[in-house]
Amino acid sequence: MVKPSLRTKSIGTKVTEEEYAKLELTARAGGKTLGEWCREVMLASANARVPKGQMSDGSDALALMAEFAALRTILLNVLFKEANGETLTAEQMHMLIERADADKLKKAAERLRQGSTWAGV
């Protein structure tokens, strides 16, 4: 069995009271100590990946929200037609998908902006 490497080096930084409180709260929310959380975030950054359970610079959130927006548009349109006893042709479905894809980034950005406003950010 291979023994894990011992951690013998330390990194320190100074933060304000508010920054410390925010970092500590974030670490606790992830079920980690502040030191464990900081280590994970720093190593993830050094390895150019996003830590578990966290989004990156917002582009991941935008991409995900864009897909949800497109899916929502398609689903609501299909359900509305079905509820009215109509059926969609393959051509209508393709047009619906194209329209949903064309608007998805704009709708996603709006939704994310609204979410920031509601969260008080």
Has residue 12 been placed in a domain? no
Has residue 8 been placed in a domain? no
Q: Tell me what the mean pLDDT of segment 89-108 comes to.
A: 88
How many CB atoms are closer than 10 A to CB 5? 6
Domain of residue 103, residue span: 59-118
pLDDT of residue 51: 56
Residue 121 banded pLDDT, cuts 50, 70, 90: very low
Lowest mean pLDDT among 19-33, 34-48, 81-95: 34-48
Q: How far apart are CA 14 and CA 2, in angstroms?
A: 36
Mean pLDDT of the chain: 83
Has residue 2 been placed in a domain? no
Could you give the number of structural domains in the chain?
2
Has residue 53 been placed in a domain? no
Query: Largest alpha-carbon pair distance within the chain?
Result: 69
pLDDT digits (tens, 9 = 90+) for 45-92: 777 655 555 555 566 777 888 888 899 999 999 999 999 999 989 999
Q: Which of 38-42, 59-63, 109-113, 117-121 has the highest mean pLDDT?
A: 38-42
Share of the chain above pLDDT 70, in %: 83
Amino acid 40 reads: E
107 φ/ψ angles, rounded to the nearest 5 degrees? -65, -40
Residues 88, 114, single domain; the answer is yes
* Distant-in-sequence contacts of 66-72, Cβ < 8 A, 24+ apart: 66/104, 66/105, 66/107, 66/108, 67/104, 68/108, 69/100, 69/103, 69/104, 69/107, 69/108, 69/111, 70/97, 70/100, 70/101, 70/103, 70/104, 71/100
What is residue 48's three-state secondary structure?
A: coil
